[in-house]
């Protein structure tokens, strides 16, 4: 069954982004089924925007333009558009004007939304949408999430992800809501005027009545972000409105943390490592110490070796706060972090000595696609390989062991109450230096991010 949708685009300044958004809607919306309502909130350059919009949507039968007599702010504009101007019984999709839609996004969102009577609101994946961002955790935070990167990761991993994940809230940059719930519970609370946090309040409000919010993994909508509220004003609104949210819904903060660290699909968690965007092996070395404030002999050997590695490898070491300063002085060529302030993902963790204890497992299972315990002999072999052929050694690191996605999912689903619920998923499957590249195509037929020429060359060397 097809569920008609009215796409509401609140308009306020930024003509360039707006016209790009509208062009993508003209290209990607089935106008025989859905409608588009553009509402000018009488902001900057309102007259010029009106002229440009009318010209752009001329001849588009499902597009409608309206203008508010005065500026209402984002919340007021959305409420007027949905509750007064839209004369249909359609579901409502609120879409920021600084977005770029993609083919089929409405259909994917609608299918997910209507897959259960208990579903209330849904948003797509994006390059800039907090917990709906793809990839969410980054191998290299300095790179960010350009649209091209999100597109590549989504194309590779969308078939491996479930159709949707339940989340505490749906992101407001592009949120599809059942019309029935708007009739029952209204839309945005004017307490959040002029904007920021209003969609979170709505999702949590309907959640208390048993209706769920979701993220649909099959749809992607790109988002420029930060156009309406910027700088100090944005931070002030965010802080003030977040306090209101937490006071109304004390469960909110814990629900978000649970979603980030437990409820997400493991393919989503490790997306940036499953589809690496560069040919650099990013390695994590966790240091626990000997219980007396010093690194163990195995830890010291591995840290010294890592400090001499060259070529396409970046090593980050983590340690307890009390040990950090001394270790950073002793091994200045490594990047150092406190082990209780670790975010991001790595291709591989190398553990000095033995299998990890519970504390290290908890860290590894949320940050590292693979991990392997290595002793002194393996460290010496690996260091020699870097001295001889750093590119080859980096490929060996990335190909350390197979990634069994179903094993990841089973552990994730069955043991989420334990901090080490992924402990076995990245366990070594063969010795470090023996035919590591047999598993180079680790998510066949998905690409691993390395040039086929390099892989063939290394395969030829290792036999």
Per-range mean pLDDT, top range of 357-366, 372-381, 411-420: 357-366
pLDDT in tens, 372-407: 777 655 566 566 655 665 555 555 555 544 455 665
pLDDT in tens, 60-77: 999 999 999 999 999 999
Per-range mean pLDDT, top range of 195-199, 283-287, 417-421, 424-428: 283-287
Quick one: average pLDDT of 333-358? 85
Quick one: average pLDDT of 194-204? 89
**Does 453 score more than 80 pLDDT?**
no
Ramachandran sector of residue 197 (left: φ over 0; alpha: ψ -120 to 50; beta: rest): left
> Distance (Å, rounded) from C-alpha 99 to C-alpha 121?
18
**Does 354 score more than 70 pLDDT?**
no
pTM: 0.82
- Looking at every residue in the chain, the average pLDDT score rounds to 82
For residue 289, the model assigns a pLDDT of 87
pLDDT in tens, 95-132: 999 999 999 999 999 999 999 999 999 999 999 999 99
For residue 134, the model assigns a pLDDT of 95
Superfamily of domain 5-264: Spore Coat Polysaccharide Biosynthesis Protein SpsA; Chain A (3.90.550.10)
Quick one: average pLDDT of 235-250? 89
Domain boundary assignment for the chain: 5-264, 276-462
**Lowest mean pLDDT, pick from 45-54, 122-131, 281-290, 316-325:** 281-290
Quick one: average pLDDT of 296-312? 86
pLDDT band at 363; cut points 50, 70, 90? confident
Per-range mean pLDDT, top range of 135-139, 366-370, 426-430, 437-441: 135-139
For residue 341, the model assigns a pLDDT of 85
**Does 335 score more than 70 pLDDT?**
yes
């Amino acid at each position: 069954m097809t569920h008609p949708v009215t796409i509401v685009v609140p308009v306020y300044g930024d003509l360039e982004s707006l016209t790009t958004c509208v062009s993508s809607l003209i290209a990607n919306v089935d106008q025989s089924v859905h409608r588009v309502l553009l509402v000018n909130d009488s902001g900057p350059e309102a007259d010029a925007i009106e002229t440009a919009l009318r010209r752009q949507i001329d001849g588009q039968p499902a597009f409608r333009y309206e203008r508010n007599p005065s500026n209402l702010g984002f919340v007021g504009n959305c409420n007027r558009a949905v509750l007064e101007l839209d004369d249909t019984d359609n579901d409502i999709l609120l879409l920021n004007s600084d977005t770029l839609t993609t083919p089929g996004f409405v259909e994917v969102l609608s299918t997910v939304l209507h897959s259960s009577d208990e579903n209330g609101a849904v948003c797509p994946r994006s390059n800039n949408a907090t917990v709906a961002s793809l990839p969410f955790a980054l191998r290299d935070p300095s790179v960010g999430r350009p649209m091209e990167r999100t597109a590549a990761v989504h194309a590779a991993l969308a078939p491996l992800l479930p159709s949707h994940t339940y989340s505490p809230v749906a992101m407001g940059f592009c949120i599809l809501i059942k019309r029935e719930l708007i009739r029952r519970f209204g839309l945005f609370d004017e307490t959040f005027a002029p904007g920021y946090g209003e969609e979170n309040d709505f999702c949590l409000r309907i959640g208390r009545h048993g209706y769920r919010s979701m993220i649909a993994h099959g749809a992607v909508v790109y988002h420029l972000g930060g156009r309406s509220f910027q700088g100090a004003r944005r931070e002030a609104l965010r802080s003030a409105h977040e306090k209101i949210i937490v006071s109304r819904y004390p469960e909110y903060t814990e629900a978000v943390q649970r979603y980030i660290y437990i409820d997400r699909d493991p393919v989503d968690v490790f997306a940036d490592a499953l589809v690496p965007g560069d040919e650099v092996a990013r390695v994590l070395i966790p240091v626990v110490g000997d219980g007396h404030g010093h690194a163990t002999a195995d830890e010291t050997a591995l840290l010294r070796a890592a400090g001499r590695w060259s070529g396409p490898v970046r090593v980050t070491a983590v340690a307890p706060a009390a040990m950090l300063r001394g270790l950073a002085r002793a091994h200045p060529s490594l990047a150092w972090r406190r082990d209780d302030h670790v975010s991001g993902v790595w291709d591989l963790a190398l553990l000095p000595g033995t299998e990890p204890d519970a504390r290290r497992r908890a860290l590894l299972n949320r940050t590292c696609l693979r991990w392997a315990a290595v002793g002194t002999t393996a460290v010496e072999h690996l260091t020699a390989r870097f001295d001889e052929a750093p590119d080859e050694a980096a490929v060996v690191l990335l190909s350390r062991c197979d990634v069994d996605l179903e094993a990841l999912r089973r552990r994730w689903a069955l043991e989420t109450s334990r901090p080490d619920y992924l402990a076995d998923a990245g366990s070594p499957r063969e010795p470090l230096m023996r035919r590591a590249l047999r598993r180079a195509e680790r998510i066949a037929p998905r690409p691993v991010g390395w040039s086929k020429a390099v892989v063939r060359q290394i395969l030829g060397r290792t036999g």
